Structure 1
Amino acid sequence: MDHFTIVQALCRAAIADASPASRKQIERLRDTLAKDGNSKQAAALTSILTTADRTKELSPSRIERSKAQSPGELLSRNTPVPVDRETAAPLADVIFPADIQPAAPLFNATVSQAIGTIIEEWANFDALSEINIRPSKTCLIYGAPGTGKTRLALWMAQQLDLPVLLVKLDGLVSSFLGTTARNIGNLFTFANRHRCILLLDEFDAIAKVRDDPQEVGEIKRVVNALLQNLDARRDVGFTIGITNHPQLLDTAVWRRFEVQLEIPKPDFEMRKAIAAYFMPPVKAPDIHLRLIAWFTEGSTGAEIESLVRTYKKATTVREEDRRGLLDTLRQFATLNAARVQSERRALLFDDSSNLFRAMRDDPILGFSMADIGEIAGKDKSTVSRQLGRAIKSSDGEVANG
């Protein structure tokens, strides 16, 4: 081929950041040259393709390149973590990306989009650096227990391919009150030396309001030590704090976190999605998922998961021992009374006609007579008669009133 050196240079430039289509064309050219007897030229293109493959295998991803911008030693499974001097108890656990579930936690679209921006910032570390901007390096995640805060933090670490240094601050305080400040200093020194995400769980255990008259002077000194260490780490690595009690946090603590992410309790559609996520391998009808979502109003993801486990048990036992959905819900409400909204619990144990009426009239649930009948194990006419009695009873009460 004439001017092959130019063609070779073009191929080498194209393969550096090649799309699948570009690579395919280079492979077609190589095969054509080989077929026409230009074995040396075909071999040259083969060498270009092979070199590109090896470079791709060895080159870090965008996120891995970003990690290289953060100085620090690699944290391995053999790296000893700091311990308390008096008890030799480890002050933290190390969790590696390979040990974290890769499935993204379920949140509403607004929260998911916000989380995505944090991941994108780190994935585009180099581009941000060019305009003198850095990714957010501190994040406070707060919300009710069971809303998935810790799971979210671990998933973010998995996405960033960074190990997690997990510190349970409540245990640290209760066990080592006299040396807590020193232990905190040792933990931050260790975290700052390694490439990792520092995850401070039960953050409110230490970061309490400093002017609380119920707190001893030691805790106040510990809070100050924590603030100083957070300040020192801002330019070093990624730190995540988690709390169920944001109202207990010192205002100075809030200012240390660039991102302050509240995880809300799931709405109806998210509760249904969470139920569907935990349901396999059991296949539940859509109306069952909708009723579970309706029944769990005000519940967290962890509470919905617990109900789904109860449902799966009830549908898997012997045929003669199986419970209907309403009986399963009543069983769960009895064993988990504090986790079920009182209004929903009252309807479950009230006259079934009142429950049917509430199910029919709820616009979010959107049940037809046939849906109610299928769930209750009754035909439509029976459901209709029971609803008629409920309406007459309600009208009578209004008239008497």
Structure 2
Amino acid sequence: MEHFPIIQALCRAALAGASPALRKQVERLRDALNEEGQTKQAASLTGLIVASERNVEVAPSKLTASRGFVGGEVLTPNTLPPVDRETSAPLAEIIFPSSIQAEPPLFNAAVTHAVGSVIEELANADAFHGMGVQPARTCLIFGPPGTGKTRLALWMARELNLPVVLVKLDGLISSFLGTTARNIANLFAFANRYQCLLLLDEFDAIAKVRDDPQEVGEIKRVVNALLQNLDLRKENGFTIGITNHARLLDSAVWRRFEVQLEIPKPEFDIRIEIARAFMAPLTPPSSHLRLIAWFTQGASGAEIEMLVRTYKKASVVNKDSAQGLLDTLQQFATRNAARVEESRRALLFSEPGTLFRAMKSDPDLNFSLADIGEVAGRDKSTVSRQIGKPARSIN
């Protein structure tokens, strides 16, 4: 479809505040494109529909969550967190809903639905109580670094209108291991006293496999203390654990968490939306967002944010030059080699004809010659000639 980028932009704008009837029309357009064999354009509209539904799907059905699942006193800005007796260092940070980012993190449809179901349960805790069942009170969020696990936990607290008692467990471990067990007990006693969400970040720092022969007996007792306090906490509030290293967790720890939510690295369509979200106040062309998403295959949301920052800096520094997006990507790949998937990096630094052919044939990118010329800072005829050149063989 010759003018599909314009149609795509119109659909994106319309879906931002779409009624069910309008969404249905976009779905009809997608289905018609599929029937005509224009699967790339249809897939693009599917991505827009999924993204537009995300804000609605994740939010709970009630604006204010039921308080049936939490008890205790109300936390105020004047409430001081518990401290280590030896060092007087705080054992936790208290974060109030008003200071948490309002926008939900971007995940695929499966994760989005799962998060929505957890919040929905907690929002309807009173109704569950009448049927003799309870909402899930513990959730373990795990996955690679930079995928938005902590941001998701904080956002869930905001949706539930609960302050967060945030604990970095690696900082909780004292050189005096007996003190660590006492700190854990004090921390849970504090969380159980107040209406809050207890967030245990870097969970693997303390919840280690107890059968590891390299661990001393005292660490095992610390893990047991943690498990016992998790069991007691179920009757008092909601607890989220976060880890980048799920394989390090004791099997007994896994059993304590009713919800075990894996956050994967983002797929192509989600990478586009993550790049778009970080671009403000810039509004780059669709071809730029698609190329950034293509280039960041295997990257986390945090790594995409880093690339977008490089893009924004380049837009300021090179605003009067003809430097294309490919030059910016090459700069990023050189300065952040370990953060770029090897095959994408090899293509980026290959001869132009090889790179342009890969971009032209990739079904996700769906690039025209004009698109390639725009991101490469070259005219369409030059791109066409370079695509037509045979790749040089290396003997």
CA distance in 1, matches of 2:380, 2:153: 48
- Residue 269 of structure 2 is aligned to residue 262 of structure 1: no
CA distance in 2, matches of 1:93, 1:104: 22
Unaligned runs of 5+ in 1: 1-60
CA distance in 2, matches of 1:302, 1:201: 17
Matched ranges for 1:49-68 at <5 A:
64=64, 66-67=66-67
CA distance in 1, matches of 2:282, 2:62: 39
Matched with 1:172 is 172
Instruction: Specify the code of the residue in structure 2 equivalent to 1:90.
Output: P
**C-alpha deviation, 1:323, in angstroms:** 3.7
Q: Percent identity?
A: 68
Instruction: Specify the code of the residue in structure 2 equivalent to 1:235.
Output: E
CA distance in 1, matches of 2:187, 2:322: 52
Residues 324 and 374 in structure 2, CA contact (< 8 A), matched pair in contact too: no
Runs of 4+ in 1 over 6 A off after TM superposition: none
CA shift digits 1:60-88 (9 cap, x unpaired): x9575721553201111111211111000
**C-alpha deviation, 1:304, in angstroms:** 0.3
Structure 1 residue matching 2:74: 3-state secondary structure = coil
**C-alpha deviation, 1:331, in angstroms:** 0.7
Matched with 2:317 is 317
Structure 2 residue matching 1:140: 3-state secondary structure = strand
Matched with 1:133 is 133
Matched with 2:13 is none
Residues 195 and 237 in structure 1, CA contact (< 8 A), matched pair in contact too: yes
Matched with 2:194 is 194
Instruction: Specify the code of the residue in structure 2 equivalent to 1:85.
Output: R
Matched with 1:288 is 288
**C-alpha deviation, 1:176, in angstroms:** 5.5
- Residue 390 of structure 2 is aligned to residue 390 of structure 1: yes
CA distance in 1, matches of 2:205, 2:179: 15
CA distance in 2, matches of 1:169, 1:351: 48
Structure 2 residue matching 1:166: 3-state secondary structure = strand
TM-score (norm 1): 0.80
Matched with 1:362 is 362
CA distance in 2, matches of 1:147, 1:319: 31
Please report the RMSD computed on the Cα atoms of aligned residues, expressed in angstroms. Answer: 1.8
Instruction: Specify the code of the residue in structure 2 equivalent to 1:379.
Output: D
**C-alpha deviation, 1:335, in angstroms:** 1.0
Residues 104 and 155 in structure 1, CA contact (< 8 A), matched pair in contact too: yes
* Structure number with larger C-alpha Rg: 1
**C-alpha deviation, 1:216, in angstroms:** 1.7
Normalized per residue, which structure has more helix? 1
Matched with 2:372 is 372
Distance change in 2, residues 1:138/1:63 (3 Å): farther
CA distance in 2, matches of 1:363, 1:64: 43
Distance change in 2, residues 1:244/1:65 (3 Å): closer
Distance change in 2, residues 1:193/1:72 (3 Å): same
CA distance in 1, matches of 2:295, 2:130: 51
Matched with 2:306 is 306
Residues 315 and 323 in structure 1, CA contact (< 8 A), matched pair in contact too: no
Instruction: Specify the code of the residue in structure 2 equivalent to 1:350.
Output: S
**C-alpha deviation, 1:173, in angstroms:** 1.5
Distance change in 2, residues 1:356/1:325 (3 Å): same
Structure 2 residue matching 1:316: 3-state secondary structure = helix
CA distance in 2, matches of 1:219, 1:323: 56
CA shift digits 1:291-310 (9 cap, x unpaired): 00000000000000110011
CA distance in 2, matches of 1:160, 1:388: 57
Structure 2 residue matching 1:239: 3-state secondary structure = strand
Structure 1 residue matching 2:338: 3-state secondary structure = helix
Q: How many residues are aligned here?
A: 335
**C-alpha deviation, 1:177, in angstroms:** 3.7
CA shift digits 1:259-298 (9 cap, x unpaired): 0000000000000010011111111000000000000000
CA distance in 1, matches of 2:353, 2:210: 55
TM-score (norm 2): 0.82
Residues 140 and 261 in structure 1, CA contact (< 8 A), matched pair in contact too: yes
CA distance in 2, matches of 1:317, 1:175: 49
